[in-house]
Structure 1
């Protein structure tokens, strides 16, 4: 069975995995060695890809699509 291609980039997945762990933007930036602006850009990109209104809806949708798991 072929592996399904993720709609998330590796970095977007890292960012949202940390969001699931209840990390704030500053903590995510520090952990991934990127700027807070870059973290926000990744979050915005995913929200746009999914056509949702915010981080929470993005997380719910990513869980539903099995892009993330709890």
Structure 2
């Protein structure tokens, strides 16, 4: 499995935007289509809400890619 660490800016990121920002799709619209197809899991459960709020500590899986969401590092 290909692991991607994603640093969250703010409290959450919408699922379709996370897929785009992590480089798993080309646009937010493509992210929405992936979610609608049932291909995306959040914390091991298929997620059907395209704009689900993903927060620090959650893990998103698409195919062989695993995105681990972390809180923004303190400066």
> TM-score w.r.t. structure 1 length?
0.31
Higher share of residues assigned strand = 2
Taking CA–CA contacts closer than 8 Å with sequence separation of 6 or more, which of the two structures ends up with the larger relative contact order? 2
Larger Rg: 1
> TM-score w.r.t. structure 2 length?
0.29
Higher share of residues assigned helix = 1
